[in-house]
């Protein structure tokens, strides 16, 4: 999966499964556009992604997470709960605005 930390007023952590990076999904009025310019950062394994997400949650970051593996890692990191996950065309995603 890819993880990218975008430095801003409040840091943004973008996490996306490698297999869906660069794709766009639509369902009704909703779309999930997984642009490489936003999501493509460091390619990491699950353990590293969990460590990074835990660290960034402690820093009051916001999160934009897409894909089965990425969402599962975020749940393990305690950043999101299963109830906060949505789906567009079967692709799970979650937004965290702390």
Residue 30, φ and ψ in degrees, nearest 5: -105, 145
pLDDT at position 67, please? 98
> What is the domain partition of the chain in residue ranges?
2-96
pTM of the model: 0.94
Q: Please answer whether residues 93 and 71 qualify as being in contact, where contact means their C-beta atoms are separated by less than 8 angstroms.
A: yes
CB atoms within 10 A of CB 89: 12
**C-alpha–C-alpha distance, residues 82 and 4, integer Å:** 22
Residue with tokens 């402690």: 58
Classify domain 2-96 by CATH architecture.
2-Layer Sandwich (3.30)
Q: What is the mean pLDDT of each run of 10 residues along the chain (98 residues)?
A: 95 98 96 97 97 94 97 97 96 92
């Amino acid at each position: 999966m890819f993880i990218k930390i975008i430095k801003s007023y409040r840091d943004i952590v973008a996490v996306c499964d490698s297999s869906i990076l660069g794709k766009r999904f639509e369902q009704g009025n909703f779309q999930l556009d997984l642009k490489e310019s936003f999501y493509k950062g460091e390619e990491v394994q699950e353990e590293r992604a969990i460590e990074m997400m835990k660290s960034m949650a402690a820093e009051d970051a916001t999160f934009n997470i897409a894909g089965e593996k990425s969402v599962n890692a975020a749940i393990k990191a305690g950043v999101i709960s299963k109830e906060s996950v949505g789906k567009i065309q079967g692709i799970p995603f979650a937004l965290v605005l702390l």
